[in-house]
């Protein structure tokens, strides 16, 4: 039933209600981080307000949420003179607790307070790493936004600050007749990362860091560009105020009043008496710094009483009653001396920047990761560049940008393959990068010294050669002491050598030697899996063993023949062929065979096996066969075991307490076997009726 037009509010009243609703939803979403309605519902209300304002332009107001999208581009910014100068505050560069104590001591001396006088009251706040902004509200409506500029004169950036979603265009409650709010425009880390990801996906330029992103967005002549940037605002001060009879008389009271008006104010604040409060705040925020949603470069201490602020006044154009207490810088510039390539435990090649030593984030940094070749090219990092290095807490130092104007002439772009001439820098094996992947890898897994520990751990794992007792700590000892330089060396280990290792008892040494010797008797599938060929997991190794029957047949297979194996596509086939094409990988395989590794080979093609081409699913507990035992017998007879029931499943083998797989089999009409029927099938291959 359609609404009665007579009962619908007039356009002006409806527009007013919509503006109030949308302002409330914006505040909940962007300031309180507590959305009240789904995005689709919000969008519907927003579009309704847009339609009303388009049909009746006189309803459009400066505080309407529709005015955030930005107007036409400006030829230049107009100048704005600050009635109350936007001055900077003194910086305390001593990053220890002494910085807070020195500030308190200076103030007490200036006020002539002796040691017995009561402690001073302070407000402690964050020192944001963004762009200072002045906002002018007339009777609660935003009418002007200006940059700090030189402190006396800034730039009119009203159109751009209107695009900041957590910034109210109209203040809540009873607002002063005139209020100039000062604060910081910044870009939260998560928003910065998401923005750069979208830009990269579109092939567009990215931002160097959140601070540059915020500053560049506010100074965009085209506000439509600024509207696309995810900016946030936090209030921390004020300038000219008129017509506010109930103005608070403390710093923390002012910020609380701002919050009640709907202005974003950081919750990381503290107020109280004495310098110990400042010391505790400095230490607490240092511990929380890396988990904050935005960047800071320190904290700020202010005398809490506004009357005392006025009494203390200014000196050298800086407020005596406030100080910024810095933390170690998280970003510094330095020179890139070289780009080297490291080989990881899994063969991944990572370019690493060697830097002229620079003190950043509390430590001296000489290296920074470039992650991969694509990332190095995206940032256009070149040897000889002056680069910006960032280190936050325990995060690995990273190059976040390049000072392009200081690049030496003729510096070539980074090309990993050309620099390495297509060979691993550790073992000389061929390097490769599969289509769609960003990482180059060394193909010499068994042979490469950088991958030795990982290759040994994989070889000894339960689903591979199953060498119990050969764990990570022992592998580290064996490789680090030089007892094992390649996989075949483990079969030459003897009890006295092992017993001489730290924390290795005689009994443990004997057990390990016994487990190593026991691994000599295995299966072709386990051996192939143990070689650690990229993309060859346990199931693929079994498929390869069933299909080729012998190791030699697998070694001789080209890529087209490899692709004839079930579930082996072009990528996997290429990986297998590249692995066995490396002479040193074949040499390691031959050395393992010479050490005594063996299995029962069969030249019979997979098609002649009794269960060839049949798919099985096991569910429940069988009377005599364990799950792994049943799997091995089925696979030895040419069958394939999977973990889920589908239309490709030939039989479901069910024991006690079978679960939902049995129901699925019945639903699809798949034949169900008990253990006896399975054993008969394994014995003669006769299909049950």
Structural domains of the chain ordered from first start: 5-69 (1.10.287.610), 91-326 (3.30.470.30), 331-420 (2.40.50.140), 443-608 (1.10.150.20), 610-684 (3.40.50.10190)
Place of tokens 């490469």: 448
Q: Which residue has the higher pLDDT, 198 or 140?
A: 140
Whether 360 and 328 have beta carbons less than 8 Å apart is answered as yes
Q: Which residue has the higher pLDDT, 7 or 222?
A: 222
Annotation marks residue 326 as catalytic: no
Three-state DSSP class for 273?
Answer: strand
Looking at the predicted structure, is the pLDDT value of residue 203 above 80?
A: no
Distance between alpha carbon 323 and the CA centroid of its chain, in Å? 34
| Residue pLDDT, tens place only, 413-444 | 999 999 999 999 999 999 999 887 888 999 88
Determine the pLDDT at residue 607: 54
pLDDT-derived band at 70 (thresholds 50, 70, 90) equals very low
Number of DSSP helices (H) and strands (E) in the chain, helices first: 25, 24
Please state, rounded to an integer, the average pLDDT across all residues of the chain. 87
CA distances from 646 to 158, 372, 523, 565, 668 (A): 62, 40, 29, 20, 8
Looking at the predicted structure, is the pLDDT value of residue 554 above 80?
A: yes
pLDDT-derived band at 220 (thresholds 50, 70, 90) equals confident
Q: What is the mean pLDDT of residues 50-77?
A: 72
What is the Cα–Cα distance from 327 to 320, expressed in whole angstroms?
Answer: 21
0.75 surpassed by pTM: no
CA distances from 643 to 216, 613, 615, 616, 619 (A): 54, 16, 10, 9, 9
CA distances from 411 to 128, 352, 373, 404, 533 (A): 36, 17, 16, 11, 38
Determine the pLDDT at residue 328: 74
Question: Using N-to-C axis directions, what is the helix angle for 210-218 and 189-201, rounded to 10°?
Answer: 80
Structure tokens at 632: 């091995």
φ, ψ of residue 232 to 5 degrees: the values are: -135, 160
What is the Cα–Cα distance from 457 to 465, expressed in whole angstroms?
Answer: 10
What is the Cα–Cα distance from 369 to 404, expressed in whole angstroms?
Answer: 19
Looking at the predicted structure, is the pLDDT value of residue 297 above 90?
A: no
pLDDT-derived band at 1 (thresholds 50, 70, 90) equals very low
CA angle 84, 89, 91 (to 5 degrees): 170
Looking at the predicted structure, is the pLDDT value of residue 603 above 70?
A: no
What is the Cα–Cα distance from 267 to 254, expressed in whole angstroms?
Answer: 14
pLDDT-derived band at 7 (thresholds 50, 70, 90) equals low
φ, ψ of residue 674 to 5 degrees: the values are: -95, -175
| Residue pLDDT, tens place only, 244-270 | 999 999 999 999 999 999 999 999 999
**Which residues of 465-566 form beta strands (DSSP E)?**
none
- How many CB atoms are closer than 10 A to CB 433? 16
- Burial label, 494 (beta-carbon count in 10 A; 0-12, 13-18, 19+): exposed
pLDDT-derived band at 375 (thresholds 50, 70, 90) equals confident
| Residue pLDDT, tens place only, 474-488 | 999 998 899 999 899
pLDDT-derived band at 47 (thresholds 50, 70, 90) equals confident
CA distances from 574 to 534, 536, 541, 549, 580 (A): 10, 11, 15, 20, 10
Q: What is the mean pLDDT of residues 630-657?
A: 85
Which range of 226-230, 360-364, 430-434, 489-493 scores highest in mean pLDDT? It is 489-493
One DSSP character per residue, 406-451 reads GPPTTPPPP-HHHHHTTB-TTT-PBEE--TT----EES-TTT-GGG
Task: Of 31-35, 508-512, 585-589, give the lowest mean pLDDT range.
Answer: 31-35
Determine the pLDDT at residue 110: 92
- How many CB atoms are closer than 10 A to CB 85? 14
Alpha helices in 27-111 (DSSP H): 39-55, 98-111
Whether 92 and 324 have beta carbons less than 8 Å apart is answered as yes
Query: Beta partners for 350?
Result: 342
Which range of 53-67, 188-202, 212-226, 348-362 scores highest in mean pLDDT? It is 348-362
Looking at the predicted structure, is the pLDDT value of residue 72 above 60?
A: no
Looking at the predicted structure, is the pLDDT value of residue 604 above 80?
A: no
Q: What is the mean pLDDT of residues 457-468?
A: 93
Looking at the predicted structure, is the pLDDT value of residue 5 above 50?
A: no
pLDDT-derived band at 11 (thresholds 50, 70, 90) equals confident
Q: What is the mean pLDDT of residues 589-603?
A: 87
DSSP-derived pairing of the beta strands 640-642 and 651-654: unpaired
> Which residues are CB-contacts of 590 (< 8 A; sequence separation ≥ 6)?
none
Determine the pLDDT at residue 31: 61
What is the Cα–Cα distance from 490 to 484, expressed in whole angstroms?
Answer: 6
Looking at the predicted structure, is the pLDDT value of residue 119 above 70?
A: yes
Whether 327 and 96 have beta carbons less than 8 Å apart is answered as no
| Residue pLDDT, tens place only, 333-346 | 899 999 999 998 78
């Amino acid at each position: 039933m359609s609404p009665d037009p007579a009962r619908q509010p007039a356009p002006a009243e409806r527009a007013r209600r919509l503006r109030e609703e949308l302002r409330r939803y914006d505040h909940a979403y962007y300031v309180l981080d507590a959305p009240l309605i789904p995005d689709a519902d919000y969008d519907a209300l927003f579009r309704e307000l847009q339609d009303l304002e388009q049909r009746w332009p006189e309803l459009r107001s400066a505080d309407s949420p529709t005015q955030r999208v930005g107007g036409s581009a400006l030829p230049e910014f107009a100048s704005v003179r600050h009635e109350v100068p936007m001055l900077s505050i003194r910086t305390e560069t001593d990053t220890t607790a002494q910085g807070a104590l020195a500030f308190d001591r200076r103030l007490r001396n200036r006020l002539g307070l002796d040691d017995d006088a009561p402690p001073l009251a302070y407000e402690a706040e964050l020192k944001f790493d963004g762009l200072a902004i002045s906002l002018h509200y007339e009777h609660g409506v935003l009418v002007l936004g200006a940059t700090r500029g030189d402190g006396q004169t800034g730039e009119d950036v009203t159109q751009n600050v209107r695009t900041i979603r957590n910034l109210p265009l109209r203040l809540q409650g009873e607002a002063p007749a005139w209020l100039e709010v000062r604060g910081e425009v910044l870009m939260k880390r998560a928003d910065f990362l998401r923005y750069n990801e979208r830009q990269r996906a579109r092939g567009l330029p990215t931002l160097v860091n959140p601070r540059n992103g915020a500053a560049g967005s506010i100074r965009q002549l085209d506000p439509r560009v600024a509207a696309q940037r995810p900016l946030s605002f936090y209030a921390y001060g004020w300038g000219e105020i008129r017509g506010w009879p109930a103005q608070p008389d403390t710093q923390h009271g002012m910020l609380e009043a701002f919050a009640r008006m709907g202005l974003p104010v950081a919750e990381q604040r503290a107020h109280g008496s004495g310098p110990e409060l400042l010391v505790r705040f400095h230490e607490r925020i240092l511990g929380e710094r890396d988990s904050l949603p935005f960047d800071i470069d320190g904290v700020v201490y202010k005398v809490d009483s506004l009357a005392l602020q006025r009494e203390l006044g200014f000196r050298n154009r800086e407020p005596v009653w406030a100080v910024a207490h810095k933390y170690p810088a998280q970003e510094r510039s330095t020179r890139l001396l070289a780009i080297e390539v490291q080989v990881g435990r899994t063969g991944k090649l990572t370019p690493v920047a060697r830097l002229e030593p620079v003190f950043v984030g509390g430590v001296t940094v000489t290296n920074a990761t470039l992650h991969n070749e694509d990332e190095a090219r995206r940032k256009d990092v070149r040897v000889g560049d002056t680069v910006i290095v960032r280190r936050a807490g325990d995060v690995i130092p990273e190059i976040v940008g390049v000072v392009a104007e200081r690049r030496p002439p003729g510096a070539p772009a980074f090309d990993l393959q050309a620099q390495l001439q297509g060979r691993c820098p550790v073992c000389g094996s061929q390097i490769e990068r599969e289509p769609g992947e960003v990482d180059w890898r060394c193909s010499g897994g068994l042979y490469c010294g950088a991958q030795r520990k990982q290759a040994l751990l994989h070889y000894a794992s339960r689903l591979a050669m199953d060498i119990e007792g050969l764990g990570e700590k022992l592998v580290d000892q064996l490789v680090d002491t030089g007892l094992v330089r390649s996989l075949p060396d483990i079969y030459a280990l003897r009890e006295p050598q092992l017993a001489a290792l730290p924390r290795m008892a005689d009994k443990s040494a004997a057990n390990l030697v016994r487990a190593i010797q026991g691994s000599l008797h295995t299966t072709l599938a386990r051996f192939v899996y143990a070689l650690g060929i990229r993309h060859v997991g346990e199931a693929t190794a079994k498929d390869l063993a069933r299909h080729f029957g012998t190791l030699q047949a697998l070694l001789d297979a080209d890529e087209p023949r490899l692709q004839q194996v079930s579930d082996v596509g072009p990528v996997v086939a290429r990986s297998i062929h590249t692995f066995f094409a490396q002479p040193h990988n074949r040499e390691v395989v031959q050395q393992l065979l010479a050490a005594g590794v063996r299995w029962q080979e069969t030249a019979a093609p997979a098609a002649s096996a009794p269960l060839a081409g049949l798919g099985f699913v096991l569910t429940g507990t069988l009377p005599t066969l364990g799950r792994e035992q049943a799997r091995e017998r089925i696979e030895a007879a040419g069958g394939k075991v999977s973990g889920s029931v589908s239309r490709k499943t030939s039989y479901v083998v069910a024991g006690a307490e079978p679960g939902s797989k049995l129901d699925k089999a019945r639903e699809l009409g798949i034949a169900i076997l008990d253990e006896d029927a399975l054993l008969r099938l394994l014995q003669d291959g006769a299909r049950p009726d």
